[in-house]
Amino acid sequence: MAKYGEKKVITFKDKKGKETKFNLQHVGLQGSFEILDRTKDANGNTSITAMHSELFEHVIRTEDNEQVSYDWFEDQDFGSEMLKEVVKESTKFIFQ
């Protein structure tokens, strides 16, 4: 079954109980490997910030389908925790 274009909604619930929904869009098998290629440094290690940037650009959207960024997460309560959880779910989604 093709994955390209497949969508998934995830929900982050912070310590205050506030829920924030995110739309994830699958980039397909080739797109997933292209992301891996673009995020490798000269030694073949994956750059965390490069991976985040790729996910922000190609996979993660807000509930209103707006693009996210580090600035967007910094403006949120519990932004660091939210970022970690959303990135974890996004990578599971496109690399499984």
pLDDT surpasses 90 at 96: no
Q: Name the CA radius of gyration of the chain, rounded.
A: 13
Residue 12: CA atoms inside 13 Å, Cβ hemisphere, count? Answer: 25
16-28 mean pLDDT? 96
SS3 68: coil
Residue 19 has a pLDDT of: 96
Cβ-contact 10, 26 below 8 angstroms: no
Residue 10 has a pLDDT of: 98
Q: How confident is the model at residue 35 (pLDDT cuts 50, 70, 90)?
A: very high
Residue 2 has a pLDDT of: 62
SS3 33: helix
